[in-house]
A and B are shown apart, each in its own frame.
Chain A
Amino acid sequence: MEARPALSIQRSGASQLGSLGVSGGLSSSLSIPSTHLEGTYQKLPDIQQVPSERELTTRPQAHATRVPTNNGSLADTASLPLSQSSSSLLPQPTIPSCCNKENSGSWCTDPDFLDFPEWADQLITCDDALTSNWNELLVDNVTNLEPKMACQVAKPCTTMPAQNQQLPSPSVESLRVVNPSSSANNAPAKPRMRWTPELHEAFVEAVNQLGGSERATPKGVLKLMKVDGLTIYHVKSHLQKYRTARYRPESSEGSSEKKLTSMEEISSLDLKTGMGITEALRLQMEVQKRLHEQLEIQRNLQLRIEEQGRYLQMMFEKQKSGLDKLKVSSSNPENPAATSDATKEAPTKSELESSQRDHLDSGTGTVNNAKSMLERSSREMGGEDMATEAGDLEKTKARVSETSPEQAAKRSRIKE
């Protein structure tokens, strides 16, 4: 099934950024009044370490009896994942999510069910009065869970241990304040799932089997789909989107605002040039295709550039390690002739080298040694490969840019 690969891609992507948590690229957000947000934000530094340890010990006992019901499972799951993240907690900007106590339906989408399938099973067995159960849960545990919610949400945005420091400068604070308000409204506080068309097909199948989008329940769909790692929250939100898309097909193609303006723009095109709607649409389509084409080209270029940068970096590091062995030999001053040769042969190295140079410049001859070593070895070793690789990239760049001077000239004419 597609679910696993999609999830794993997301996870590995996330883990590349450090301990982003099991849930992958996730930010928080339940809707929350901003004043509440500030309050929580301030509280965090004090309580961040406490809840996970304390809750871990007390939670299982407190909820042992509640396990058979679904109330307990939710809370337990909420506490357990935090053990993973306690070391990386940090007050940080995108916190917006504390529970919105009024909206029980959207509460507690935090818990990372990906790791606790047994809890998910228990959820599945419950009936659709889940929301009322959540309400109860909120009333019981709100003080304990609230900081944990915020803390868990903080989890994905942390990376390095050093981050537990506060940055003193005021303008950084302003940046931090900017972020919460923007992400408060959009990112859901649940593990993010990357949907694919195949997964959606399976979803639609399941929904149809259950009698249509109105009659199908998240629990039922989840059971039918039988996809590992898919949680009821994912299904719930997807079902909601699906229902919206089906029963308001006009506005699903864009908000009503957008709809108006696209009508507006088409009629304005119509008036101005006497173009029919068909032609206007065709024109729009052409321009869109053009943009997409350019985006693909640009993206490929960007990938290649970085690929090459990575390759050069690797080469450089190889040389650095080789350098250590040769350190005993004389520290020759850099040979200007060698430098110019190398520059001609592998021009793309120059930027990498200059940044390396800045970094390494400790006044010893090692930098110069490294450079000349790199140049010499590249000539011997991968010199040819690198040169062709560099050549290819340069050729692509040249091709792409050959019409640009003309365009620039035209542009200046038109602007007048």
Chain B
Amino acid sequence: MKFGKRLKQQIEESLPAWRDKFLSYKELKKLVRQISSAESCVEYGKANAEAEFVHLLNNEIDKFNVFFMEQEEDFIIRHKELQQRIKRVIETWGPNGTKPSEAEYKDEMAKIRKDIVNFHGEMVLLVNYSNINYTGLAKILKKYDKRTGGLLRLPFIQKVLQQPFFITDLVSKLVKECENIIDEVFPVEQEDEEEIVKEQREAITVAGKGIFRNTVAALLSMQEIRRGSSTYGHFSLPPMDLPDSDLIHSFQLNSPIPIV
């Protein structure tokens, strides 16, 4: 139940367009309960139920794959465009450009900076999307095996590991490239950075349903999910080691649902 609640929270706090792309964890759990309660029926029925369960899981996986690859495609395009845009701005309004103008340059660069950060955030949220759905699948499979005595989990999860939505390497690479771009185009002075980190200790309120809010929510959720459960076993993830955890916890997400 804990994961289900966490997942629901994450979904509610995710970008609106993404909300129906997550795992239908609750429904699948219901199905597992149903299947296990009808355990007394013949072998035939049981195999049938398993087939149906697998079929639904596959549908979910298709959903993830399609969404993920669509987003990934968008990210590839936007990444390239961002680089072009930066180049254009530097070449036009930069100090060595065709129409050097410090005001314009600063202005455009500020916009670009914001866009890079949000772009970076969106990509990270996609990786998070992939991960949370994987986690959900692993959990539901574990439930299934536990309740029905089946051996579905191990082989099925191996297949999941090969799915496009789980292979997030490209998006991660784009994320890192974004970080490099920001460091190159907006270099940070060392002293500034330390100062800023200290400033960040103040509590602030994060409003709106923006990317920042979602990121914080995702991090906190992840930590909660891994806090250790009653069914902690050797296939479970250990509790999370989150540096700056107190900083992140200090972001009070003002939503009606408390993140407990």
Contacts of A16 in B (CB 8 A): 158-159, 162
Contact: A288 with B172, CB < 8 Å? no
CB-defined A-B contacts under 8 Å, sample of 21: A16-B159, A25-B62, A25-B163, A27-B59, A92-B55, A160-B51, A171-B30, A186-B67, A254-B119, A258-B211, A262-B118, A264-B208, A283-B196, A285-B120, A286-B200, A299-B168, A310-B154, A350-B233, A351-B235, A359-B149, A396-B238
Contact: A292 with B124, CB < 8 Å? yes
Q: How far is the CB of B58 from chain A (nearest CB, A)?
A: 6
Give the CA-CA distance A396 to B240 in the complex, in Å: 11
Q: Does B248 contact A (CB under 8 A)?
A: yes
> What residues make up the interface of A, taking CB atoms closer than 8 Å to B?
9-10, 12-13, 16-18, 20, 24-27, 90, 92-94, 156-160, 162-163, 165, 167, 169, 171-172, 174-176, 178-179, 182-183, 186-188, 192-197, 200-201, 204, 238, 241-242, 245-246, 249-250, 252-255, 257-258, 261-262, 264-266, 268-269, 272-273, 275, 277-279, 281-292, 294-296, 298-299, 301-303, 305-306, 309-310, 313, 347-348, 350-352, 355-356, 358-359, 396-404, 407-408, 410-411, 414-415
From known contacts A183-B63, A187-B62, infer whether A305 and B235 are also in contact, taking CB-CB under 8 Å: yes
Contact: A261 with B210, CB < 8 Å? yes
Give the CA-CA distance A254 to B78 in the complex, in Å: 10
Q: Does B243 contact A (CB under 8 A)?
A: yes
Q: How far is the CB of A268 from chain B (nearest CB, A)?
A: 4
Contacts of B27 in A (CB 8 A): 174-175, 178
From known contacts A187-B63, A284-B121, A291-B218, infer whether A17 and B159 are also in contact, taking CB-CB under 8 Å: yes
Contacts of A286 in B (CB 8 A): 200, 244
Residue ID in chain A nearest B231 by CB atoms? A351
Contacts of A414 in B (CB 8 A): 246, 249-250
The 8 Å CB contact of A17, one of B61, B121, B149, B168, is: B61
Q: How far is the CB of A314 from chain B (nearest CB, A)?
A: 10
A163-B51, A282-B188, A351-B234 known, 17 other contacts, Cβ within 8 Å: A13-B167, A27-B63, A157-B55, A175-B30, A183-B66, A187-B63, A195-B72, A200-B80, A264-B210, A275-B204, A281-B114, A294-B240, A295-B128, A359-B151, A401-B240, A407-B242, A408-B227
Contacts of B244 in A (CB 8 A): 286, 290
Give the CA-CA distance A39 to B134 in the complex, in Å: 33
Question: A-facing mask of B47-64, CB < 8 A → 1, else 0?
Answer: 111011011101101110
The 8 Å CB contact of B54, one of A159, A294, A313, is: A159
Contacts of B239 in A (CB 8 A): 400-401, 404
> What residues make up the interface of B, taking CB atoms closer than 8 Å to A?
15-17, 20-21, 24, 27-28, 30-31, 34, 47-49, 51-52, 54-56, 58-59, 61-63, 65-67, 69-70, 72-74, 76-81, 85, 110-111, 113-115, 117-122, 124, 127-128, 131, 134-135, 138, 145-146, 149-151, 153-154, 157-159, 161-165, 167-168, 170, 172, 174-175, 179, 182, 188, 196, 199-200, 202, 204-213, 215-216, 218-219, 222-223, 226-228, 233-235, 237-246, 248-251, 260
Interface centre among B17, B59, B222, B251 (most CB of A within 10 A): B59
From known contacts A261-B209, A292-B172, A301-B237, infer whether A196 and B76 are also in contact, taking CB-CB under 8 Å: yes
The 8 Å CB contact of B59, one of A92, A283, A359, A403, is: A92
Give the CA-CA distance A93 to B243 in the complex, in Å: 43
Contact: A279 with B69, CB < 8 Å? no
Contacts of A162 in B (CB 8 A): 47-48, 51
Contacts of A183 in B (CB 8 A): 59, 62-63, 66
From known contacts A186-B70, A253-B118, A306-B157, infer whether A245 and B237 are also in contact, taking CB-CB under 8 Å: no
Contact: B206 with A265, CB < 8 Å? yes
Contact: B199 with A12, CB < 8 Å? no
Give the CA-CA distance A406 to B242 in the complex, in Å: 11
Q: How far is the CB of B39 from chain A (nearest CB, A)?
A: 12
Give the CA-CA distance A407 to B172 in the complex, in Å: 27
The 4 closest A-B pairs by CB, nearest first: A25-B65, A404-B239, A397-B238, A261-B208
Contact: B162 with A13, CB < 8 Å? yes
Contact: B150 with A359, CB < 8 Å? yes
Contact: B161 with A306, CB < 8 Å? yes
From known contacts A284-B117, A298-B131, A359-B150, infer whether A279 and B199 are also in contact, taking CB-CB under 8 Å: yes
Contact: B208 with A192, CB < 8 Å? no
Contacts of B63 in A (CB 8 A): 27, 94, 179, 182-183, 186-187
Contact: A254 with B62, CB < 8 Å? no
Contacts of A352 in B (CB 8 A): 154
Residue ID in chain B nearest A174 by CB atoms? B27
Contact: B62 with A94, CB < 8 Å? yes
Contact: B21 with A253, CB < 8 Å? no
Give the CA-CA distance A121 to B120 in the complex, in Å: 39
Q: How far is the CB of A39 from chain B (nearest CB, A)?
A: 20
From known contacts A25-B65, A305-B235, infer whether A407 and B245 are also in contact, taking CB-CB under 8 Å: yes
Residue ID in chain A nearest B233 by CB atoms? A351
Contacts of A269 in B (CB 8 A): 204, 206
Contacts of B28 in A (CB 8 A): 175
Contact: B124 with A288, CB < 8 Å? yes
Contact: A258 with B118, CB < 8 Å? yes
Q: How far is the CB of B125 from chain A (nearest CB, A)?
A: 8
Residue ID in chain B nearest A182 by CB atoms? B20
From known contacts A175-B31, A253-B115, A294-B222, infer whether A160 and B168 are also in contact, taking CB-CB under 8 Å: no
Contacts of B135 in A (CB 8 A): 302
The 8 Å CB contact of B113, one of A26, A171, A281, A400, is: A281
Contact: A288 with B62, CB < 8 Å? no
Residue ID in chain B nearest A264 by CB atoms? B208
Contact: A299 with B131, CB < 8 Å? yes
Give the CA-CA distance A10 to B166 in the complex, in Å: 12
From known contacts A299-B168, A301-B237, A351-B234, infer whether A192 and B78 are also in contact, taking CB-CB under 8 Å: no
Residue ID in chain A nearest B119 by CB atoms? A253
Residue ID in chain A nearest B183 by CB atoms? A285
Interface centre among A27, A158, A186, A292 (most CB of B within 10 A): A292
Give the CA-CA distance A108 to B145 in the complex, in Å: 41
